[in-house]
Amino acid sequence: MKKIVSLGLAAAMAASVLTGCGGGSAQTADTKADAKTEEAKGSEAASDKAEGTATAEGMTEITWWAFPTFTQDGDNPAGTYEQEIIDAFEAKNPDIKVKLETIDFTSGPEKITAAIEAGTVCDVLFDAPGRIISYAQNGKLVALDDMFTEEFVKDVDNEALINSCKSGDSYYMYPISSAAFCMAVSKNALEEAGAMDCINLEGDRTWTTEQFEEMMKKLSEAGFMGGTVYCSGQGGDQGIRAFVTNLYDSSVTDPEITTYTLNDEGGVKAMTKIKEWVDNGYMLNGSAYNGGEDVDQFVAGNTAFTTLWSPGLASQRAETLKENGIEAIALPFPSEDGTPALEYLVNGFCVFDNGDEARAEASKKFIDFICNDEEWGPKNVVKTSVFPVRQSMGDLYEGNEDMSFYASLTKYYSPYYNTIPGFAEMRTYWFPMLQAVINGDSEPKAALDDFVAKANQSIVNAQ
């Protein structure tokens, strides 16, 4: 863990070349080269698709675009494990050919949008509800109602999670795994600063906002830099939003997920306190950082905590943490009453409506194999580094204390608002609001009132 002399280091940190979005790990030069190769292949596939080319008589060809959610073995580039899945599927389904393209969290969303407009989008996408349901609301997806059997819904046994896969009365995302978003602190920094007594390592590790503030004070006095209030863009914004809402028991929306409510008393108090922490040097002004870059700073030892963490991130960044000699302790977000309300990740698949029923059915068959095959289903869940949505899969991380902790956080799941109409538009208003507050350009109440007005208008616009 690196100590600091003053916040002057922030400027140097901001100038460094950083990567990552939504907590995704950085790509190496080799990986980027491989990705470009795959992109070229994907473009050829899209061209073939648009022209209606067939590979062989009786063969159905589909394309799969995948964000880097599955962890890769060793130094293998993105897409290596996904190709193993494809090979296993094609061995059992010789009449279906799957072409893979890996996409990243930085350029991927724009690439998908452009491909939808051009009519060259993939058949299968591996993503999360926030984007997938917006595609459904725009009429771009095939309904997956026939995959949500009574047996499957009963096995998942989580109404909030099931509802996150719906738009209207139909299902458009088939889930495979899920986990809560949380935060992480550096044990090294806390021990050196004498702040270990500020956190709770028992049970669910819940703690209060008062304890969190005391921890930051001790870290600052010992010369350590706190985490960033990252707000340069949308990357990882779910983490900092959950951090804000938990501090004084606010919420992004009402329980029914019909209107935005973050300008309530708790929200204003939280933003006022965050501005105070930035001014006091307890947290860093993160106008130059997105969520992935905040995580980069934490695993590099430049900051003492991050408000964007999950078991998937812990797995992806494990080697870097080890190289830097940092032991990360995962914690739920602090709250005034010590009871958190957590946002959560849902990994899943959708099928784009490309006007070809055979491809749509082949795509659903491929998704079913990835999620439910007796051998590959559990293996694929573990590769996402989170937990199966199907209870029948049991404990896939038996004996792993850290994963047992992450699993315990499911009881704190809050309403899943990422599928609210206009969610994508709302996100464009979030980070400018944070920037305005921490830079002193707007008072917290005025900034939140403006944000909520625009966010609520985004619901109307989407409808």
- Sequence ranges of the chain with CATH classification 3.40.190.10: 9-24+182-341+421-462, 29-103+122-178+345-403
Q: In the predicted model, is pLDDT for residue 446 greater than 60?
A: yes
The CATH homologous superfamily of the domain defined by 29-103+122-178+345-403: Periplasmic binding protein-like II (3.40.190.10)
Mean pLDDT, rounded, for 220-244 = 95
For residue 323, give Cα distances in angstroms to 89, 301, 320, 353: 36, 11, 5, 45
Q: What are phi and psi of 286, to 5 degrees?
A: -100, 30
Q: Tokens 């990422």 map to which residue?
A: 418
Query: What average pLDDT score do residues 17-29 get?
Result: 34
- Cα–Cα dist 78/123, whole Å: 19
Among the ranges given (118-132, 261-275, 445-459), the one the predictor scored with the smallest mean pLDDT? 118-132
Question: Which pTM value belongs to this model?
Answer: 0.76
Confidence of residue 53 (pLDDT cuts 50, 70, 90): very low
Does the pLDDT at position 22 exceed 60?
no
Q: What is the pLDDT of residue 72?
A: 85
Question: What was the pLDDT predicted at 235?
Answer: 86
State which CATH number among 3.30.1360.120, 3.40.50.280, 3.90.1150.200, 3.40.190.10 fits the domain covering 9-24+182-341+421-462.
3.40.190.10
Letter string b/e over residues 26-50, b meaning 16 or more CB atoms within 10 A of that residue's CB:
bbeeebeebbeebeeebeebbebbe
Average pLDDT over residues 65-82: 89
pLDDT for the residue numbered 50: 39
Residue 336 C-beta-side C-alpha neighbours within 13 Å: 12
Quote the pLDDT of residue 312. Answer: 85
Q: Select the more confidently predicted residue: 53 or 149.
A: 149
> What was the pLDDT predicted at 56?
61
Residue 106 confidence (pLDDT): 79
pLDDT tens-digit series, residues 242-279: 999 999 999 999 999 999 999 999 999 999 999 999 99
State how far the Cα of 198 lies from the Cα of 214, in Å rounded to an integer.
Answer: 7
Residue 410 pLDDT:
85
